[in-house]
Amino acid sequence: MSERLTITALGHEGDGIAEAATGRVFVPFTLPGETILADVEGERGQLAEIVAPSADRVAPACRHFGTCGGCAVQHMAPEAYHAWKRSLVVDAFAQRGIEAEVDPLVPLAPHTRRRAVFSVLKEGNEVTLGFNRRESHDILAIEECPLLVPGIEKRLPMLAGLALRLAERGKRARMTVTATDTGLDVAFEGGRKLGRSDFESLGHGAEANAIARLTIAGREIFASRLPELRGDKLVLYPAAGGFLQAAAPSEAALIDLVETAVGKSNPVADLFSGIGTFTLRLARRAPVLAVEGDDELLKALDRSMRFSTGIRTITMRKRDLFLNPMAPPELKPFKAVAFDPPRAGAKAQAEMLAKSVVPTIVGVSCNPATLARDARILIDGGYRLTRVTPVDQFLWSSHVEAVAVFQKA
């Protein structure tokens, strides 16, 4: 029998929160202020009926919403959605005892995600290409996705056809697709063993379908031209299947925030530099030390450095900053340091930065919780948090990017 509940808040994963007789209940696809009927089991509730909808409820943008596991809050009006996304950052810092003045969210429009990682499963002579179903390991075939740039969304049938040729029956695979200025960059992992005849036909098919590069299990099968991301005399060359800021507008916002914070500082260190998203922009003003632990990302940065113009000296260094962070004596020459680690954050490096004399530090993170943890370390080490800005990199999800700026007190 369904229980009548009133949703009082929205949780960090995007689920509505209600107080039932048995305690707190989380109900997906609900909004604060709504009265609902839900089937409750423990702390989880399944929406059965909306008795009184919120004024912030809107029609979802995608037919797959609610079934696909990718989006959590397509049913939420933009203004309320932006406030909720900002609150994720506010709450993360508050949990670390940091009362930060957090800027309004930098929003993101639909059809801007230029990188997608698809799951693939071939059964018989049919293939499913898409994303995991909500709370399931099963794959939902995607026919549309309002997150994706048209260059990927309109080619979903072609990508499914390519996956059919590459996948091994009964075995899950992964296809990473990036839309670049020179065509699609496609990397496939977990496919069948290919024969010599496959390579020629795959090459012809890739060229006909505007695929700039096709990589299978780390091996480059076809490259009619290098995948490029161009902008203002700078060129980024993404590593095949490697990390890349998911949406170009969000990347531009992050770069602007980092550049503004660093200002005229000289020289600069870019830690966890990746393919050089921040390195190249910062190098237009000052010499930059780029530190990264991944060989492929450093190779991509090296190529970007050689084909970009109007930049100053970039020194690359391979180093695992999790195991071997830069120590205070090494950091002493730098007037500013930017760091953009994976979701796990940069705890070891933050501890070293907290002991340093670097005047300006800029932290970028896709995980407000670990950014707040690292911020606490820096603040306890004598730094002053001067600005926090949330950036919506992952539309309609519970994930949000953030940039935090610190000055030596």
CA distances in angstroms from 33 to 27, 396, 399, listed in the order given: 13, 20, 23
Tell me the pLDDT tens digit for each residue of 53-89: 999 999 999 999 999 999 999 999 999 999 999 999 9
Q: How confident is the model at residue 193 (pLDDT cuts 50, 70, 90)?
A: confident
Arithmetic mean of pLDDT, 250-273: 97
Lowest mean pLDDT among 86-90, 194-198, 297-301, 320-324: 194-198
Q: How many residues does the chain have?
A: 409
End-to-end alpha-carbon separation of the chain, Å?
59
Domain ranges of the chain: 1-57, 83-108+247-408, 115-223
Q: How confident is the model at residue 235 (pLDDT cuts 50, 70, 90)?
A: very high
Asked whether the predicted pLDDT for residue 289 surpasses 90, the reply is yes
Asked whether the predicted pLDDT for residue 200 surpasses 80, the reply is no
pTM score, two decimals? Answer: 0.94
Tell me the pLDDT tens digit for each residue of 145-159: 999 999 999 999 999
pLDDT attached to residue 208? 73
Arithmetic mean of pLDDT, 42-47: 94
pLDDT attached to residue 209? 76
Q: What percent of the chain has pLDDT over 70?
A: 100
Is the pLDDT higher at 409 or at 7? 7
Q: How confident is the model at residue 199 (pLDDT cuts 50, 70, 90)?
A: confident
Asked whether the predicted pLDDT for residue 313 surpasses 90, the reply is yes
Q: Is 340 part of any known ligand binding site?
A: yes
Q: Which two tokens stand for residue 208?
A: 């006909």
Tell me the pLDDT tens digit for each residue of 297-308: 999 999 999 999
Tell me the pLDDT tens digit for each residue of 355-390: 999 999 999 999 999 999 999 999 999 999 999 999
Q: Which two tokens stand for residue 17?
A: 């929160």
Place of tokens 């004598």: 382
pLDDT attached to residue 201? 80
pLDDT attached to residue 160? 95
Residue 393 to residue 120: CA distance in whole angstroms:
24
Q: Could you count the other beta carbons within 10 Å of the beta carbon of residue 227?
A: 24
Q: Which two tokens stand for residue 390?
A: 């949330």
Beta bridge partners of 41: 44
Q: What percent of the chain has pLDDT over 90?
A: 89
For 1-57, CATH number? 2.40.50.140
Q: How far from the centroid of its chain's Cα atoms is residue 73's Cα?
A: 17
Asked whether the predicted pLDDT for residue 178 surpasses 90, the reply is yes
Closest CA to 131 of 366, 402, 370, 396: 396
Question: What CATH class does 115-223 carry?
Answer: mainly beta
Asked whether the predicted pLDDT for residue 4 surpasses 90, the reply is yes
Tell me the pLDDT tens digit for each residue of 203-216: 777 777 789 999 99
Q: Average pLDDT of the chain?
A: 95
Q: Is 185 part of any known ligand binding site?
A: no
Q: How confident is the model at residue 409 (pLDDT cuts 50, 70, 90)?
A: confident
Residue 57 to residue 77: CA distance in whole angstroms:
6
Q: Is 245 part of any known ligand binding site?
A: yes
Asked whether the predicted pLDDT for residue 42 surpasses 80, the reply is yes
Is-catalytic flag, 62? no
Q: Is 292 part of any known ligand binding site?
A: yes
- By CB atoms closer than 10 A (0-12, 13-18, 19+), residue 168 is middle
Long-range Cβ pairs for the range 327-332 (8 Å, 24+): 327/352, 328/352, 328/355, 328/356, 328/357, 331/269, 331/356, 331/357, 331/358, 332/356, 332/357, 332/358
Phi and psi at residue 338, to the nearest 5°? -110, 140
Residue 330 to residue 327: CA distance in whole angstroms:
5
Q: Could you count the other beta carbons within 10 Å of the beta carbon of residue 133?
A: 15
pLDDT attached to residue 221? 87
CATH 3.40.50.150 is held by the domain 83-108+247-408: yes
HSE of 223, CA atoms in CB hemisphere, 13 A: 11
Domains 83-108+247-408 and 115-223 share a fold: no
pLDDT attached to residue 405? 98
pLDDT attached to residue 73? 97
Backbone φ/ψ region at 190: left (φ over 0), alpha (ψ -120 to 50), beta: left
Asked whether the predicted pLDDT for residue 296 surpasses 80, the reply is yes
pLDDT attached to residue 202? 82
Are the C-beta atoms of residues 176 and 117 closer than 8 Å to each other? yes
Active-site hit among 68, 71, 145, 366? 366
- By CB atoms closer than 10 A (0-12, 13-18, 19+), residue 366 is buried
HSE of 12, CA atoms in CB hemisphere, 13 A: 11
